[in-house]
Amino acid sequence: MDPSTVLPHRAPFLLVDEVTEVVAQHSARGYWRLTGQEWFFSGHFPGRPTLPGVLMIESIAQLGGVCVLSGERYQGKLALFGGIDKARFRRQVVPGDLLELEVTMTRLGTSAGKGHGLARVGTEVACEADLLFVIVDS
C-alpha cells in the first residue's frame, strides 16, 4: 500500500516507501529504502552519511499513523505526536540500507493512543521507541 493514500505527508517528508501489512488500529509493517539521494545525507555527516535518529522515529510514527488511520473509526482524522518514550538507537543506518518498520498499538482511545515501534536493518534492531499520539480533526 502506498502510505500517501492514508497520510497527508508528501516528499521530501514522507518517510515510508511501502506499507506491506496493516491490521487497522492494531499493527502495521512497511519499509523505507535509503538510496543515499535523500536531502539530509549530504549534511549528516559529510564523508560519513548517517540517517538521523529523529527521522527513524518519524518513519515509525508515520507507519503508526497509517495503522491508526486505516480503519473507519478515524476517517477524517489526523494522528499527531504527543510524546516519545524509551527511544533507543542501536545501529547506524546508512545509504543503501532497507529500514524495515513495524508498529503495534498498545492502547487506543477516542482522542489518543500509544504504540511501540521498531526499525530494523536485516535482523539488527536500529531503533525502537514507545510513541504517544493524539488524534485530531484533519
- Catalytic site residues? 44
Distances (CA, A) of 42 to 39, 49, 87, 130: 7, 7, 25, 29
Strand (E) or helix (H) holding 77? strand 77-89
Based on C-alpha coordinates, what's the Rg of the chain?
A: 14
Distances (CA, A) of 88 to 3, 14, 108: 25, 22, 23
